[in-house]
Structure 1
């Protein structure tokens, strides 16, 4: 069946969250709940520098990728542009999960001490595929389309982060698409991560 790649509309955010929850059941972002996920993906979708692509089969959303055309300061701009919404969500989390707010802040603001990374590249923020369609080329198709979007907007490189330990299959997937290890770093609290990057000018 042919894939249709297009921007995810507001009406499909709920379906996107379902895919996210199944794809990342133990991830920190998932633990913040559907309300936060809805706010996050919707504001990425609406952002001037945000990209939210969906892969559809016969009208059904079967995969998505969220990205930014410019990594540097994207999250601070995202929060600033939607300050009231994020403040209300932060207040809710402060009463229900105060430690989660601290972790979220530290992850979003942490910079590697020994790496001169200006963040002057596009960045894949999240990618997920419906469990019924994994291994069918959905993720590869989404990333290829994202590269076209980045290039059409004058971008020269795409970066992403993924786990360092026990993650060979995912690392191999990104390597097969031309992504190389840029550096590794420690995310809060003690999660070792790789940052990958792909120079689009070479392909």
Structure 2
């Protein structure tokens, strides 16, 4: 009896949760429709990004944060390979981030790819019409992701320093190898003399 009541309670919870999710999706769809009816031309990038985050069905790749105030790209490689081609017809994660930057999104966490905009929130698609495109804003993604842009090589001081260290270590390794080869050659040259001396000592004994 208790088990039956527990399952009934769980089923009711799941049903209510499903209804809440469906209601949220309907509100988002209605919000986008209202913007369109009001004559507001919603940029495809914003509507597609919202759909990508909210209804892609790949929460392990990209999803809202716990508060629904930002979204997180958990697996950038999978996003580039599977989702970006579906929604944006390209597979360039850096290009996707540049687009976010032009619309005022900012990276809001240092340990993960989390992006935030005050008008881009879960269940509030009607706010998308208030997001405007920016011009010449600083990039929100690290410089090592944009090695080349429009034919210009963007140097990264950390990479250059690391390259210098690797070159120095490589030179030291080559020097050690040369020393070992010289030692090996010296040992090989002295081996016959050592064997002859050892044989002579045995004969004398």
Same structural fold, with TM-score higher than 0.5 when normalized by the shorter chain: no
Q: TM-score range by the shorter chain?
A: under 0.3
Which structure dedicates a bigger proportion of its chain to helix? 2
Using CA pairs under 8 Å that are at least 6 residues apart, name the structure with larger relative contact order, 1 or 2. 1
What TM-score do you get using the length of structure 2 for normalisation? 0.24
